[in-house]
Amino acid sequence: MDRRDSPADADAAAAAALGRAWTDDAAWEFLTRLTSIGNRMGGSDGERRAAELVAEAFRGSGVEDVRERPFEMRAWHRGRSTLRLTAPDERTFDAVALPYSPSGDVTGELADVGHGTPDEIDEADVDGKIAVASTTTPSGGRFVHRMEKFGYAVDSGAEAFVFVNHVPGQLPPTGSLTFGEEAVAPAVGVSKESGAWLTDYADRGVTARLTVEAETTPGESRNVVGRVGPDTDEELLLVAHYDAHDIAEGALDNGCGIATVVVAARILAAMDLPLGVRVAAVGCEETGLLGSERLADEFDDDRLKAVVNVDGAGRFRDLVAMTHTSDATERVARRVSDRTRHPIRIKPEPHPFSDQWPFVRAGVPALQLHSDSGERGRGWGHTHADTRDKVDDRNIREHAMLTALLVRELAGETEVPRLDADTLAAAFRAEDFEAGMRAANLWPDEWA
């Protein structure tokens, strides 16, 4: 007899799965194995090994028909980077190249562009100079992404770009400049401490020399895809990325997220779901959403009811639900928050910088699950300090339980309308995304 032959049996199985998620150490064991791999950069051997680990974990969680799906991509390889001043002081600053930076040797005056917003870049006059921008943005507005800052600075004439961490600790940040293609100008990340010197020198019109060695070659990444629940014409997608930058373990970004999905999948496999759920782990998110773009190409949008992207959940205490303008996914998040008496902060505004974007762009309703430290920016993410010791696995276990409940609630939601392109474009404009997205070549042509 199937353990879910009756509603009572189904409820008991779901309750047991939720209880097991709360008490066992599966999340920590998985995260330990994942972070021990080391480099999980898109197209690397470490990323391939991580995909195999995820596939194994999915099968162990009861996910059916698990398959690894390779795809071709452009792999970026980091070489040496130096940022050197010769006058008034002879000194060299530690720097790490940003993914898809080309090799280059640029000498130019340093230009402090503050937070790197379009207005600040316009005011600084970066033509022929090396733009120096902070990783953070002014309070009171949305967080401006690195790709936007770089793209706008280069479009404004900057010959090179320096990204300054706003988090102390001698931690130069990394992060991709483009979506999977070599950028047009060299760029590096430097620590907050180095940045303080650079902005001081910029005020005095000092010239610096930036040298980057990097290479882009043909490579291969892969997605891992399986299914829980019944085989239905309409489906939900539960997705997280498993890749990470090569300079750290990627425990927070996005080891916590993929661990959350692994545990949530085990809970969902025990539930009596009203429709099927595709469970996917995608590669190359950090280097341009390449895995999710490939996954979106393989999906029939008409069959896809909604996407739940777990990028950022499990890192901190309180869950954040980004609903990307969808009233339906917002309703679901509020109901689950009320029923569980667990705070879930709702953020309705959209953004294009995670794995929901290829689906949102096509009109698929989305829910991105994140978590909030109370500080702006990535914190330890995208630095050497993104390591396993920063993780509290109680957050992963709680968020996995909430993720499963959100997916089940969304599966049963009767009305989940498609996203309207005009409404979506208006929402992006209302958040002042257009200039930055155009500079980063992310603004859809059909939005005009």
The per-residue pLDDT of the chain, averaged, comes to: 95
Q: pLDDT (tens digit, 9 = 90+) per residue, 110-152?
A: 999 999 999 999 999 999 999 999 999 888 888 899 999 999 9
Under 8 Å between Cβ of 84 and 91: yes
How sure is the predictor about 1, in pLDDT bands with cuts at 50, 70 and 90? very low
| Percent of all residues in the chain with a pLDDT value above 90, rounded to a whole number | 90
Looking at residues 68-92, what average pLDDT do you find?
A: 95
Which residues, at least 6 apart from 371, have a Cβ–Cβ distance to it below 8 Å? 312, 313, 314, 315, 316, 317, 318, 319, 320, 395, 399
SS3 state at 166: coil
Could you tell me the pTM of the whole model?
0.95
CB 260 within 8 A of CB 238: no
Identical fold for domains 7-74+219-429 and 82-216, yes or no, is no
Tell me the C-alpha to C-alpha distance, in Å, between residue 254 and each of 245, 263, 308, 322, 388: 10, 14, 15, 17, 11
Neighbour tally for 31: CB within 10 Å: 23
pLDDT the model gives residue 126: 97
Report residue 9's pLDDT band, with 50, 70 and 90 as the boundaries: low
Give the amino acid at 397.
R
Length of the chain: 448
Question: What confidence tier does 335 reach under pLDDT thresholds 50, 70, 90?
Answer: very high
Q: How would DSSP label each residue in 325-378?
A: T-HHHHHHHHHHHHHHT--EEEE----SSSTTHHHHHTT--EEEEEEE-SSSS-
Query: Tens of pLDDT along 254-272?
Result: 999 999 999 999 999 999 9
Compare 37 and 2 and report the one with higher pLDDT. 37
The stretch 195-219 carries a mean pLDDT of 97
Write down the pLDDT at residue 373: 81
Residue 282 and residue 295 in contact, taking contact as beta carbons nearer than 8 Å? yes
So what's the pLDDT on residue 301? 81
| Residue 6 pLDDT grade (very low, low, confident, very high; cuts 50, 70, 90) | low
Which among 150, 156, 132 is positioned nearest to 208, based on CA atoms? 132
What residue ranges do the domains of the chain occupy?
A: 7-74+219-429, 82-216
Local confidence band at 154 (pLDDT 50, 70, 90 cut-offs) = very high
pLDDT of 3 over the 50 cut:
no
Nearest-CA neighbor of 304 among 369, 348, 239?
239
Pairing of strands 207-228, 64-85: antiparallel
Identity of the amino acid at 4: R
pLDDT (tens digit per residue) in 161-201? 999 999 999 999 999 999 999 999 999 999 999 999 999 99
Distance from C-alpha of 406 to C-alpha of 413, rounded to nearest angstrom: 10
Q: Shortest CA distance to 162 belongs to which of 199, 125, 127?
A: 199
Class of domain 82-216: alpha beta
Confidence of residue 303 (pLDDT cuts 50, 70, 90): very high
Alpha carbon distance 290, 292 (integer Å): 6
- pLDDT of 7 over the 60 cut: no
| pLDDT for res 8 | 61
* Helical (H) or strand (E) element with 298: helix 290-298
Residue 5 has pLDDT above 60, yes or no: no
Q: Amino acid identity, residue 294?
A: R
Buried/exposed 321-357: b ≥16 CB within 10 Å, e otherwise? bbbbbbebbbbbbebbbeeeeeebeebeebbbbbbbb
- Identify the CA nearest to 325 among candidates 307, 350, 358, 345: 350
Beta-carbon contacts of 152 under 8 Å, excluding residues fewer than 6 positions away, are 116, 118, 121, 435, 436, 439
Element housing 155 (H / E)? helix 146-155
**C-alpha pair distances (Å), 61 with each of 24, 97, 352, 369:** 13, 38, 30, 20
Reduce the DSSP state of residue 224 to 3 states and report it.
Answer: strand
Superfamily of domain 7-74+219-429: Zn peptidases (3.40.630.10)
Q: What is the mean pLDDT of residues 275-287?
A: 98
Question: Averaged over 364-388, what is the pLDDT?
Answer: 91
Distance CA 371, CA 92 (A): 37
Higher pLDDT, 10 or 399: 399
Q: List the beta bridge partners of residue 242.
A: none
